[in-house]
Amino acid sequence: MLHFMRELKFGENEFKIRQECIGHVSCVVWDSAIVACHYFVRYQSFWKRKKVLELGAGTGVCSIVLAALGADVLATDLSEGIALLDRNIRENWKVITRNEGSVKAEILDWNDSYDKPLSFDVIIMIDVIYYLRIVVLLLPLKLK
């Protein structure tokens, strides 16, 4: 499979994010994710010990950066994106755990209800509405 590594630095942390040339939109680091990560680092004290849900995590760069800032993150995406997400989490595990953060990848299809009891301080969605048809799936999503 054709892939390439993207090395990124946010604050004092360096990250390696694998990107793959498959799929549609969840396989690369988009510019909006880079901007969001710089924003997260700018307000890094806010994220310590926050419970964060990321919808449409893609490569996981935002979830990984938040975890490196001390957040506990649930990074979600469709089933076909989970392997890449897991791989990037493993690749960056040392920097993630350095500040007592955590990140876990989980499948979440916006067509389905999410029946697990969850409680989050923050829900993030970075550039997830690339195709207009996705909006109709997002609107009825139920998080208990």
pLDDT in tens, 62-114: 999 999 999 999 999 989 889 999 999 999 999 999 999 999 999 998 777 77
Q: What are the backbone angles phi and psi of residue 89, rounded to the nearest 5°? A: -65, -50
Report the distance separating Cα 38 and Cα 65, nearest Å: 9
| Superfamily name and number for 3-138 | Vaccinia Virus protein VP39 (3.40.50.150)
Which amino acid type is present at position 129? I
Query: Average pLDDT for residues 116-139, to the nearest whole number?
Result: 76
Q: Which tokens in the block code for residue 90?
A: 């493993």
Domain definitions of the chain by residue range: 3-138
* Contact status, residue 30 vs residue 23, Cβ threshold 8 Å: no
